[in-house]
Amino acid sequence: MSDRTTTSTAPAQPQTPSPSAASHLSPAFPSRAPWGTASKLRAWQAEAIAQYQAAAPRDFLAVATPGAGKTTFALRIATELLEAGVVRRVTVVAPTEHLKHQWADAAARVGIRIDPSFRNSQGRHGAHYDGVALTYAQVAAKPALHAARTTAAPTLVILDEVHHGGDALSWGDAVREAFEGAARRLALTGTPFRSDTAAIPFVRYDRDAQGIRRSVADYTYGYGDALRDHVVRPVLFLTYSGQMRWRTRAGDEVSARLGEDMTKDLTQQAWRTALDAQGSGSPRSSPRPTSG
């Protein structure tokens, strides 16, 4: 019997941007993909990448339902642009600090070194990084700084959840100023959006029948598509009805039916009765779900 022990180690991360590694990134990253599909691009990702490669656009808006795998799609594009020399840097803009670190973690898995801790006061990122991850608020604080960084070398800017660029008028103006000079811009969002006031930079709009400007995506993978492909689960909303009976503090018995028009006070008391775990036990004191 051998007294040697063996240890398992995680696969080494690539040291340079790797489209091959990107193609093996979980299609659902940072979530786990269904068993047996982890090494495959989803059909929508492959189709969107092929469309991007054929058009080679400066601006591209991908709308994909939450959980569909926008991160994997974007990083595959990034690795190919870096390897081809179209861009030399990558800047990711996300709504929150947490997402900055999530993007950096995903990028490291495909050989792209992103600094999620970059601060405006630094001025430039370290030479050992391929780019930085920023928040929209961070860009708005010093757009001129990021404009200079963007034009210093050909840059791909990934605008994650780009609809947040419209959260404040100053944010949209800052995004335009900071990234007007980018070689490529890839915008991502989980849902189509509208603009009643200022349009979000680098996004095309069409007016609907009511005259409201709505975003026009270059590629769309909606909830219905994802449901058909078993990428997401169906979302069901249940309505409840049932006859409720309770006694007031004065000893009076009150009866009401959930779902019918009642005063706010009666509605609250009826729901309080329905949700009371220590109820009377009467068959009529529990709501019954109905499809809706």
Q: Where are the domains of the chain?
A: 19-228, 238-291
- CATH, range 19-228: 3.40.50.10810
Q: Encoding tokens for residue 74? A: 């974007």
C-alpha span between 228 and 232 (Å, rounded): 9
Q: What is the pLDDT of residue 219?
A: 97
Q: What is the pLDDT of residue 269?
A: 85
Q: What is the pLDDT of residue 242?
A: 80
Adjacent-strand bridge partners of 159: 93, 187
The SS3 call for residue 131 is strand
Q: What is the pLDDT of residue 266?
A: 85
The SS3 call for residue 240 is strand
Q: What is the pLDDT of residue 76?
A: 95
Q: Which residues of the chain have pLDDT under 70?
A: 1-13, 15, 17-39, 194-198, 238, 240, 277-292
Q: What is the pLDDT of residue 36?
A: 38
C-alpha span between 71 and 30 (Å, rounded): 8
C-alpha span between 159 and 58 (Å, rounded): 13
What is the CA angle 198-201-206, rounded to 5?
70
Q: Is the separation of the CB atoms in 15 and 111 below 8 Å?
A: yes
Q: What is the pLDDT of residue 151?
A: 97
Q: Is the separation of the CB atoms in 111 and 17 below 8 Å?
A: yes
Residue given tokens 């786990």 in the structure block? 32
The amino acid present at 136, given as its one-letter code, is: Y
Q: What is the pLDDT of residue 3?
A: 43
Q: Is the separation of the CB atoms in 186 and 60 below 8 Å?
A: yes
